[in-house]
Chains A and B, each alone.
Chain A
């Protein structure tokens, strides 16, 4: 007995010696600015076992005792390597420098191989430097417009920043700014998005295979992370363009501990048009204008290596206004009238986050956020009457408001027990307040009593609670899988909508250059965007599910392969199949701009399908970088009472979609970039056939008839193909104070008249023909930017 006991102890101690593991944990940051690097590779070069940094730059890697070659790498940076004799737990913070040479440096780990290695399918990380270099409309760099250039993502109408991902509508994208959902990401009716690229550090688009930590929208997640602000020294960059100007300032408040970043952007169309408007008004005091602005601010403080606090805020607004003033004298009484009419919409988002490293393997992040989107239209009129016996003021104001407000609390944990598991779990709760439209009416005079009433829809309160758990599991050398579950419950008007959504993705590495991946995910969406027109207007309303309108749901399968052609060039091919249920659509002939009460009775519920293949060839580093994407897809809808219940193509069913986006650095002073897009036409409903109907039921012989256009089905006709070429050139010059850049670009270089709207009209001879309206012809732009 004793002998056996001894043997057992010996065996255990041998085993524990063999399985003795230690954890290295810490942060990876940029050497110059102190910005934490997200998704940087951290691994042992000897065994190639490793992990990546999380959204806060934190990593934790547990390896067996012994000699390891600890390596950190990140695209565009020189990698760091150190031989360590691992015999205890270590805390190690690494700062790496951007690599000066952009020539292909052979690194053991590379962006392309990271893609091959990861289980995440259907995801694309867009390098922020590419976004800043690509030529754009009117010189305005735009994250969402750049995302439209990726396969699987389509833009809606020309120039707008709505996203249609794998056949889903523009309300099915979860756009997160530092984890806070943004509801209306459009300025100027969608021509520009609200994101100021100078303040952004990372953008990731996920189209399928959604990990369990995301939920609430069907078609995509766009995870945008703001820069933290350099905690080493002050920096500023800005630009002056045709439409707007931006300025971004960042720096340390307390070196290595506290840093901030503030960036702002404002248009000046209103300032520039003032003289013209005054000329047109000819003496009458009329003023009209349109402007928008954005303000991003973030402050972060490092209490210790374990604990960091971040406070970030975004505020943006669009306003179109007219002001009129006139006075006249009548019957000895002076009348002074002033009118202000206003159309305004905007977002406010704020987030307070606290990172806490509980131990070497467990990292937590607690977030409290507030988000508000508001739209308002109103008119205010003031009339002053002064005279010998009269001194009166009358005020009249009318304001219509709609919007949505969210209060969110969430906790997320990253638990990395060893290199074979990366567990994420967390809970969150969003308290929504929906305002579907309230009109306030105020009337007051100096003589009479005041009237102040409100009428319209009452606010709707709802609660969205969710929890998730997922694990990235490595099984053997070649197989890795991410399995997760997302639980959510939506509570509104005494009704609960619970759901359990499975999420699975897996990858099998055939060799270190080639892997195949597959994923299945189920998503639920509890809020709809009720659009009242074909163009996204700020009058679009966010409305929750109700006791009669059920949550939308999607199931998506994706399968594909990634092949690394070289260290930083890879090609991926992916096929997907997605079904969507409980979609809503306005009933046929439903009127536009009408009262929003009882909207539930004006909509139909139906379903949709989309499937296709996407190919992406991407090169992320080097003198020449960019991507070529191709998508072949089908997207369909079916509603019982629309199109007589028959399946019809979705409006944005684009069969072929090609985008090429390339930037090339000629030398340190000049770089050029080009974008070419091609898409087969969107579907529109056009009557191609006409016939007569008779007017009077009782008297056919009156021969009173009228012509009716026959629609074969909804969305039966395809607009002509859309394609355009944009080019841009950037001229850089290093100056004593910093660096300046002149950017010159041309949008739609060969001036193609791309169809925006189709209609039947008449020519001079009275003959009917099919006409198109196109929007943007060739447009040059110029921009001056600086950096110090």
Chain B
């Protein structure tokens, strides 16, 4: 209730402001609060990239410290495969190894003066989009592209999904006064489909699970802004629908991270702990299987009449 909101907040603030005092507290946070942080999401048939950084004291001025001399190893079904090679900005990559569906992967990281960490995960069953219907609709004056995405959910398995939509629209960069290279950033999606549990990446991705439709064909409804894919100066010709089947650990991580972002800074909300599956450390090591369904899109360019 917005009104309740206003009145109570005003009254609380009144009481607090009338007689409050602010002072800084000396807080001794020991350096033992440093752990190895692993950020890695892997999928089939592409090299594994792992980002290693150090966690910091919350009062530290630096944002992040990447670790350049960590020893990062990958194991497949408990057999050692490779040691990853450092590239830049804390990223380590494998040379020839690519993950494969059906195998169990273990990552171990060790760095000087920090506790060793490890994590395990596997690639989830890839799930296909069996078809997509699109239509142009007008909702409250806005022109939207409504998409009905048909998913055949496998039975006997708990599936978790992350949906994103991309396009190949070229944008005009007004600052540099030129056409910028093909953008592959995700589009904003909207939906009131009850199955969606969380929105991530500032509404560019939708997270849901198969609790409601396990083992059946589900038609997911989403809407994209027409203006995002076709505007007066350029248009997309292909829309890419990415249905990522994500592991349970990635699902927990994404949900808790979204909750965290929503409530961070709100003094009245209960604080949220972001999920981590790194033993003795922080971060996430998770597998996902991507299924891309491209659609040819025929857009048109609106002529914009100046002055």
**A contacts, CB < 8 Å to B:** 188-189, 191, 290, 320, 341, 343, 377, 379, 398, 400, 439, 532-535, 537, 539, 586, 588-593, 595, 643-644, 685, 687-698, 700-701, 703, 705, 707-711, 713-714, 720, 753, 755-760, 763, 766-777
Contact A760 B58 (CB under 8 A): yes
A710 touches which of B1, B16, B263, B282 (Cβ 8 Å):
B282
A701 touches B49 (CB 8 A): yes
27 contacts between A and B (CB under 8 A): A533-B268, A537-B12, A539-B8, A589-B260, A589-B262, A590-B270, A591-B269, A595-B1, A685-B270, A688-B29, A688-B58, A689-B55, A690-B58, A700-B49, A703-B89, A705-B39, A705-B51, A707-B63, A708-B274, A713-B273, A763-B24, A771-B23, A772-B23, A773-B16, A774-B22, A774-B23, A775-B21
With contacts A398-B3, A589-B263, A693-B284 known, is A770 near B59, CB below 8 A? yes
Bound Cα distance from A343 to B9, whole angstroms: 12
Among the listed A687, A693, A759, which residue makes an inter-chain contact with B267, where contact means beta carbons less than 8 Å apart?
Answer: A759
Q: Which residues of B contact A (CB under 8 A)?
A: 1, 3-5, 7-8, 11-12, 15-16, 19-25, 27, 29, 33, 35, 37, 39-41, 49, 51, 53-61, 63-64, 89, 91, 162, 164, 186, 201, 205, 242, 244, 257, 259-260, 262-264, 266-275, 282-284, 288, 290
> B259, A588: Cβ atoms under 8 Å?
yes
Report whether A772 and B25 are in contact in the complex, using a CB–CB cutoff of 8 Å.
yes
Distance in angstroms between the alpha carbons of A586 and B269 in the assembled complex: 10
B residues within 8 A CB of A769? 24-25, 27, 59
User: Which residues from B are CB-within-8-Å of A770?
Assistant: 24-25, 27, 59
A692 with B64: in contact, given A320-B7, A773-B21 (CB under 8 Å)? yes
- In the bound complex, what is the Cα–Cα distance between A541 and B162 (angstroms)? 37
Check B19 against A691 for contact (C-beta < 8 Å). no
Q: Are B51 and A343 in contact (CB under 8 A)?
A: no
Collect the chain A residues with CB atoms within 8 Å of residue B53's CB.
691-692
Q: How many A-B residue pairs have CB under 8 A?
A: 190
Could you tell me the distance between the alpha carbons of A753 and B60 in the complex, rounded to whole angstroms?
26
**Residue pair A709, B3 in contact (C-beta under 8 Å):** no
CA distance A769 to B27 in the complex (A): 8
Give the chain B neighbours of A708 by CB distance below 8 A. 257, 260, 274
Q: How far is the CA of A452 from the CA of B11 in the complex (A)?
A: 29
Asked whether A771 and B24 contact (CB < 8 A) given A320-B11, A689-B57, A693-B257, the answer is yes
Q: Using known A-B contacts A689-B56, A693-B283, determine if residue A710 contacts B11 with beta carbons closer than 8 Å.
A: no
Contact A757 B267 (CB under 8 A): yes
The winner among B5, B25, B186 for most chain A CB atoms within 10 A is B25
Most chain B CB within a 10 A radius of its CB, from A290, A589, A705, A776 = A589
* Central interface residue in A191, A709, A714, by most chain B CB within 10 Å: A709
Please state if B269 and A592 are interface contacts (CB–CB under 8 Å). yes
Establish whether residues A377 and B7, one from each chain, have CB atoms under 8 Å apart when the complex forms: yes
B131 to chain A, nearest CB (A): 23
**Residue picked from A709, A710, A757, A758, most chain B C-beta under 10 Å:** A710
Considering the complex, give the chain A residue whose CB is closest to the CB of B269.
A592
Residue of A320, A693, A758 with most partner-chain B CB within 10 A? A693
A694: min CB distance to chain B, Å: 5
Pair A400/B4 contact, Cβ less than 8 Å: yes
Interfacial chain A residues near B273, Cβ < 8 Å: 588, 643-644, 710-711, 713-714
Question: Are B19 and A775 touching (Cβ within 8 A)?
Answer: yes
Contact A377 B4 (CB under 8 A): yes
CB-defined contacts of A766 to chain B, threshold 8 Å = 61
User: Which residue of chain B has the shortest Cβ distance to A765 in the bound complex?
Assistant: B61
Other A-B contacts than A687-B271, A689-B282, 8 sampled, CB-CB below 8 A, are A189-B15, A320-B7, A379-B3, A534-B268, A537-B12, A589-B263, A694-B39, A769-B27
B7 touches A720 (CB 8 A): no
State the CA gap A590–B271 with chains docked (Å). 10
Whether B39 contacts A720 by the Cβ 8 Å rule is no
In the A-B complex, the 4 residue pairs with the closest CB atoms? A589-B259, A691-B55, A691-B37, A685-B271
Q: Could you say which of B27, B39, B58, B91 has the most chain A C-beta atoms within 10 Å of its C-beta?
A: B58
Nearest CB on A from B1, distance (A): 6
Closest B residue by C-beta to A439 = B1
A189 to B15, CA, bound (A): 10
Q: How far is the CA of A400 from the CA of B2 in the complex (A)?
A: 12
Are B64 and A707 in contact, with the CB atoms below 8 A? yes
Residues of A within 8 A of B266 (CB): 592
Residue in B7, B11, B270 whose CB lies within 8 Å of A588 = B270
Q: Are B274 and A768 in contact (CB under 8 A)?
A: no
* A182 smallest CB distance to B (angstroms): 22
CB-CB under 8 A from B270, the residues of chain A are 586, 588-590, 685
